Amino acid sequence: MLERVQSWMYGVIADPRGVSIASREADEHILPSRTLSAAERVLIYNGMYLSRFVEALGVDYPGLKYYLGDEQFDALCARYVQKHPSTSYTLNRLGDALPDFLTGFERDLARLELAMTAVFDEEETPSADLTQLPPERAEMMRLVPIKASRLLTLRYNSNECFTAFRDEKPMHPRKQKTYVLVHRKDFAVYRDEISKKAHDFLRELFAGKTIGEAILAVRPSQHALFEWFRDWSAAGLFRSFGE
């Protein structure tokens, strides 16, 4: 009996047809109060259902919300939650499938925001001091990135657009292949736009290749290598190294 009544109530709350289900069937399950009918009482929960998810998705995708505007964002959330209802104890996972629910610039921007959320939540891992890399064996070394890092290839200027959102300026999306390293240091999340070569080099390292193998695959200049390692060392991007 409990399962039956819970399944019914879930339908009233989460199904887009909840209002009509409640108006037909609420009297069977719900008592009226002094002031509200059975349907009005159970529909209080229906009214709060979507707003909770819109709020949660708005926290994870503030740039997308800014780009779409409240009305379109709310409508997107309604469509998304209908297709991807929460199946987790945490709302943090609700938006995981949102990028793949979108296309074009919106998908690109959502991928960036999802990476930022993931990096924000990742487990803290200590950073290695890359100045301790033994020069004579450096090419044999494999570097393990900190957990709070993500490497992205974007098809639009989404990182620039996200910065515009942060600065409360209009976004001007345009097609432009960009490479972004999202990482965390001292619990702050950073978005670094990097060159294609730097991206490809990091991709090799993140895949477990040695520094020597990455150099062979990407063929960077000595100057670029020096700058990358200087920046990544300062960013605490790697947690360990070894052969």
Partner 1 sequence: MFGIGLRTVHFNEILRDLPKLDFFEAISENFMDSGGRPSHILDKIAEHYPIVLHGVSMNIGTSDPLDFDYLRKLKALSNRVNARWISDHLCWTGVGGRNTHDLLPLPYNEETLHHVANRVLAVSDFLGQPLVLENASSYAEFTTSTMTEWQFLAGLVELTGCKLLLDVNNIYVSGYNHGFDPKTYIDAIPRGSVLQYHLAGHTNYGTHIIDTHIGPIIDDVWSLYAYTIEKLGDDPWTLIEWDAEIPDLATVVSEAERARDVAAALHA
Please report, as ranges, the residues that interact with partner 1 according to CB under 8 A: 1-3, 5-7, 9-10, 13-14, 28-31, 33-36, 38, 41-42, 44-45, 48-49, 52-53, 56, 85-92, 119-124, 147-148, 184, 187
Distance CA 116, CA 150 (A): 8
Which CB sits closer to partner 1, 128 or 148? 148
Distance CA 102, CA 224 (A): 36
Give just the sign of the alpha carbon dihedral 97, 102, 105, 106. negative
Which CB sits closer to partner 1, 122 or 160? 122
Which CB sits closer to partner 1, 117 or 240? 117
Which CB sits closer to partner 1, 125 or 153? 125
Tell me how far, at minimum, the Cβ of 117 lies from partner 1, in Å: 10
Which CB sits closer to partner 1, 20 or 33? 33
Tell me how far, at minimum, the Cβ of 37 lies from partner 1, in Å: 10
Tell me how far, at minimum, the Cβ of 148 lies from partner 1, in Å: 7
**Under 8 Å between Cβ of 144 and 177:** no
**Under 8 Å between Cβ of 121 and 150:** no
Distance CA 207, CA 215 (A): 14
Tell me how far, at minimum, the Cβ of 137 lies from partner 1, in Å: 32
| 40-44, long-range: CB < 8 A, 24+ apart | 42/9, 42/12, 42/13, 43/12, 43/18, 43/19
Tell me how far, at minimum, the Cβ of 106 lies from partner 1, in Å: 25
What token pair was written down for 239?
């947690």
What token pair was written down for 199?
């991206």
| CA angle centred on 35, ends 30 and 37, rounded to 5° | 35
Instruction: Give me the residue label for tokens 């393990």.
Output: 144
Which CB sits closer to partner 1, 7 or 132? 7
Tell me how far, at minimum, the Cβ of 107 lies from partner 1, in Å: 25
